[in-house]
Amino acid sequence: MATTVGAGTREAAGGRKRRSRGRGAHRPNWLGGLAGWFWLLIVIVPIYWIVITSFKTQSNYFAMNPLAPPTEPTLDNYQLVIDNDFIRYFANSTIVTLGAVVPAVLVSFMAAYAIVRAAGGMWALRWMNSLFLMGLAIPLQAAIIPVYLIVIRLHMYDSLLAIILPSIAFAIPLSVLVLTNFIRDVPKELFDSMRVDGASEWGTLRHLAFPLTRPALVTVSIYNGLAIWNGFLLPLILTQSPSQRTLPLALWTFQGEYSINVPAVLASVVLTALPIVVLYAIGRRQLLSGLTAGFSR
Amino acid sequence: MALPALLVFVAFAIVPLVGVLLLSFTSWDGIGVIRPAGFDSWRAELTDPGLPHALWVTFLVMALSWAVQTPLSILLGVFLAGHQRYREFLAVLFFIPLLLSSAAIAITYKALLDPNFGLGAGLHLPLLVQDWLGKPALAVGVIIFVVSWQYIPFHTLIYQGAVRQIPRSMYEAAQLDGAGRVRMFFRITLPQLKYTIITSSTLMVVGSLVFFDLIFVLTEGGPGDSTRVLALEMYKRGFQANQMGLASVIAVILVVLGLALALLLRRIGGGSSSTSQLEGV
C-alpha cells in the first residue's frame, strides 16, 4: 500500500495548483473531490473490513472474499472477547479516564482562573503560566523513566493510580492554555460587578466563570478523555498484572494470544472503540472541536 | 487556586524532566540500587551504533510522514471547508480514525497486511500480497502510510477550521479581478493558512518523535532494527535491556530534539501565536 501513498502525494501536489475553495467558485473542484473520495475510500475500507470480519466465523474468514459480508454471521467472537475479561479492562479504562480527566480539568480550570485574574500582577503566576506553556513543547513521554522510578518509590506500581497521576500531569499544559484563552474572553466588567456584589473569588469562580466556560470545559475534557482512553505507554510501563490492565494494553495482549483468530482480534478492536463511536454519534460537533482544542484558533 | 495544578505538574512532569537528566549520569537496572556513574552512560550510548541508526529512522519517519500528510491535509481541509451537504456526510466518516487508539489501528493493519491471511491474499491481488512488515523498506512505508491514515483526519480538521475563517470578501474581490482558482489558492488561501501550516507542522514533527505505541505494536522496531525509532530504542534499552542510564541519555536527546524543533518552527513562523502540542499517547 506504499504505492497508494505515493500516488496520493503526487495527486495532492498537483491538486494544490488547481485548488481554491469549494464555495462561491464557478468551476467544480474536481481535484479536491477526487482526493476527498479517494481518501474516504482508504479510510472506509479498513473500517468496513474490521466490522464485517468481526462477525465471521474463523473458517468463514479463511474461505471467503474478505470484503463480502459474512454468510453466517456469528457473535461468537464477541463472546470470546468478553470471556477474556474485557469487562474488567473496560471498567479499568473507565476508572482511569474519569479518574484522570475530572481532576485534571478541575485543577486546570482553577489554575487558568487564577492566571487570568492575576494578569500583570503576581510574578509567580506568570512564571507558572510559562512553565505550563513550556510543557507543551516538550515530549513529556521522554520523562517516562523517572515517572516509573517515582511510582515505584511511592509503592504505586501496578495500580490504576499509577496511570492516573501522570495522566493528570500530562493533561495540564494544554488544558490550562485552552481555558485561560477562554476565560480571558469573559468581559472584565462581569468580574468587577461580582466583586461589588461582595462575592468571594471562589464564588466568582463557581457562579460566573464556571457557567461561562462550560463549552471550553467540555472541549478539554473530550480531548484529554480520548487521549487517556487510548493511552498505551503509561499502562504498559506502570502496570503489569492483568487485573490492572486497560483496554489498549488488553487489545495488545489479546492479539498476542489469538493472533491467528483474526475475527476475534477484530471483535476486540470493535468493542474497545464502540463507546467512543457512540459518543461521536451523539455529539459529533463537540467531539471534533474538542480534538482541535487549542490548535484551530 | 493554582496550587493543585502546579503540584501535580511539578511532581509528575517537571521533576521527571530534571530527573531524567540526573539519571543519565547513573547506572540503574530498573530494580536495584541507583549508582552514580559519571559520564559512563553518555559515553556508552553515544558510541553505540544503534543511536545514529535510530536517529536516522526517526528523521526518515518524521520527514516522509510530514511530506505525505501536509499536502493531502491542506487539499482535503480546503475541500471539506465547503458547505455542500454531501461534504458534511463525507466528513462524518472521514474523522473516524481519530477515535481509534494507536494500538487498535496497529493491530488492524497487522491483520490486514498479513501476506497469507490478509486482505491482499483474500482478494487475490498479487500487488497487495507482499511481506509488508517483513521487509525493511516496505515496513517503513507501511508505518508512513498508517501514520498518515491515523493523523491526516486530525490535520484536515485543523485546516478545515482555518479555511473557514478566511474572510469571504477576499475571494469575492479576487473574483471581480478575474482571478481563477489556481491564483486564488496561491494568492489568498495558502498565505492565509501560514500560521496553520506552522502549527500543524509542529504537531506532526514534534509528535513524530513520540510515535511509540503504533510502531511498538505494528513492528516492534523490526524487521531487524529497520523501524526502530528513538522512542522505541529508549523503551528497549530501559525496560527490556534494563539499562536505565543509557535509556535516560536517549530521553534527554528526545527532549532536546523536541524543544529545538519546536523553537525552529516557531522561528520560521515569525513568532506564531500558537504553541505546539504532541499527538498521541
B100 touches chain A (CB under 8 A): yes
Give A190→chain B minimum CA distance, Å: 20
Phi, psi of B36 (to 5 degrees): -65, 140
CA distance A249 to A229: 11
Residue-level pLDDT at B270: 58
Q: Which residue of chain B comes nearest to A39, CA vs CA?
A: B94
What are the cell numbers at A155? 509503592
Cα A106–chain centre separation: 18
Higher per-residue pLDDT: B110 or B122: B110
Which residue of A139, A201, A226 is in closest CB contact with B254?
Answer: A139
Element (H, E) at B26: strand B26-27
Which residues span the domain enclosing B57? 20-268
Rg value, chain B, Cα: 22
CA distance B119 to B105: 15
pTM summary value: 0.85
What are the cell numbers at B73? 491535509
What are the cell numbers at A235? 499502562
Chain B residues closer than 8 Å to A145 by CB? 16, 19-20, 23, 234, 238, 244, 247-248, 251
Least confident of A130-134, B82-86, B149-153: B82-86
What single DSSP character describes residue A28? -
* pLDDT tens string A159-180: 999 999 999 999 999 899 889 8
What single DSSP character describes residue A139? -
| Residue contact A168–B8, C-beta within 8 A | yes
What are the cell numbers at B120? 491482499
| B27 bridge partner residues | B35
What does the mean pLDDT of chain A come to?
82
Helix residue spans in A54-122 (DSSP H): 58-63, 76-81, 87-117
Which residue of B6, B96, B168 is in closest CB contact with A43?
Answer: B96
Residue boundaries of the structural domains of chain A: 2-53, 79-291
Residue B228, in any domain of the structure: yes
Residue-level pLDDT at B274: 42
| Residue contact A137–B206, C-beta within 8 A | yes
Burial B124-141 (b: 16+ CB within 10 A, else e): eeeebbbebbeeeebbbb
B25 touches chain A (CB under 8 A): no
Q: Which residue of chain A comes nearest to B119, CA vs CA?
A: A66
A142 CB contacts (<8 Å, ≥6 apart)? B17, B20, B210, B231, B234, B251, B252, B254, B255, B258
Residue spans of chain A under pLDDT 70 = 1-28, 119-121, 292-297
Element (H, E) at B202: helix B194-208
Q: What is the CATH number of the domain that holds B223?
A: 1.10.3720.10
Amino acid identity, position A215: P
Phi, psi of A105 (to 5 degrees): -70, -40
Count: domains in chain B: 1
Phi, psi of A122 (to 5 degrees): -45, 125
| B36 bridge partner residues | B26
Neighbours of A70 (CB within 10 A): 16
CA distance A187 to A161: 39
The residue to which cell 518509590 is assigned: A153
DSSP string, A177-202: HHHHHHHHTS-HHHHHHHHHTT--HH
Angle between helix axes A144-153 and A160-184 (nearest 10 degrees) is 120
Residue B124, in any domain of the structure: yes
DSSP string, B131-157: -TTTSHHHHHHHHHHHHHHHHHHHHHH
Helix residue spans in A54-86 (DSSP H): 58-63, 76-81
User: B residues 212-271 near A, CB within 8 Å?
Assistant: 212-213, 216-217, 231, 234, 238-239, 244, 247-248, 251-252, 254-255, 258-259, 262-263
User: B residues 39-78 near A, CB within 8 Å?
Assistant: 67-68, 71-72, 74-76, 78
User: Residue B275 pLDDT > 50, yes or no?
Assistant: no
CA distance B5 to A293: 19
CA distance B95 to A47: 12
What does the mean pLDDT of chain B come to?
85
Whether omega before B223 lies within 30 degrees of 0, making that bond cis, reads yes
Residue-level pLDDT at A8: 35
The residue to which cell 454468510 is assigned: A71
Cα A240–chain centre separation: 23
Residue-level pLDDT at A89: 94
The residue to which cell 459480508 is assigned: A69
Residue B100, in any domain of the structure: yes
* pLDDT tens string B40-57: 889 888 888 889 999 999
Chain A residues closer than 8 Å to B127 by CB? 3
User: Residue B122 pLDDT > 80, yes or no?
Assistant: no
CA distance B30 to B44: 18
Which residue of B148, B168, B255 is in closest CB contact with A5?
Answer: B148
Residue-level pLDDT at B280: 28
Chain A residues closer than 8 Å to B142 by CB? 1-2
| Residue contact B102–A262, C-beta within 8 A | no
Contacts A–B by Cβ distance under 8 A:
362
CA distance A73 to A59: 12
Chain B residues closer than 8 Å to A284 by CB? 92
Closest C-alpha to A12, from B99, B159, B138, B88: B159
CA distance B277 to A133: 10
Residue B5, in any domain of the structure: no
| B26 bridge partner residues | B36
Q: What is the architecture, at CATH level 2, of domain A79-291?
A: Orthogonal Bundle (1.10)
Which residue of A21, A33, A165 is in closest CB contact with B12?
Answer: A165
CA distance A283 to B134: 41
* pLDDT tens string B168-202: 888 888 888 887 878 888 888 888 888 889 888 88
Angle at A179 between CA A178 and CA A183, to 5 degrees: 125
